[in-house]
Copies of this chain bind each other. A is one copy, B any other.
């Protein structure tokens, strides 16, 4: 089996993307990041998902984005709750991490080069996250071109690097239906930006709301245990 590097946060989208890479016949090398998240539960979910989906390997790279400041996911900024979907999509969220996908893809590229892999899977979505500049198809295409020029493989005339983004044009409901058809167990995943100390999702941050709306639109029940008071 050819190797592929699959970026895996432990959330719903990245779990579905890993299942797509498995469907496509790759030996999946799952890559997570310990980047000063406030919540270790995210990394624990990534490890569970990698195991459940039969990844050939799972590595967690330690990076420190806090050294630059600037985001709710790594700095001490209030996470917005109970927003409408239109409100989330209309602006770049304060949970945006500067250059995050560029940094994550750069590490994936390093591992791909060591493995001799020319395929990377990334669970970006341009529908729910239209506010993130680095979730757009034109960004992904520009990264592919840069990455092909960056590597030994590009110089020596091997295959160009390909970044697979199987979810990029799907709605959340489509993603959930796709994942279920590929055997993803969504009870293992974690999406919340602001979980309880015990790891329970809040049900009200942008990420929980998008996820719950997706399950509702698909006519399915989200297996995660939200608090009864969640909207």
Instruction: Please give the residue numbers on chain A whose beta carbons come within 8 Å of chain B beta carbons, in ascending order.
Output: 59-65, 67-70, 92, 96-103, 105-107, 109-111, 113-114, 133-134, 136, 138-139, 142-143, 145-147, 149-152, 154-155
Contacts and interface: CB of A to CB of B under 8 A. Distances in A.
Nearest to A107: B103
A110 B98 contact: yes
Nearest to A104: B106
A102 B39 CA distance: 28
A108 to B, nearest CB: 9
Main secondary structure of the interface of A (DSSP, over half): helix
Nearest to A153: B133
A98 B151 contact: yes
Given A133-B155, A134-B150, A145-B142, A114 B92 contact: no
A103 to B, nearest CB: 4
Contact of A149 (B100, B103, B136, B151): B136
A142 B152 contact: no
B102 A109 contact: yes
B113 A98 contact: yes
A147 B134 CA distance: 9
Nearest to A71: B114
Given A113-B70, A133-B149, A155-B133, A102 B106 contact: yes
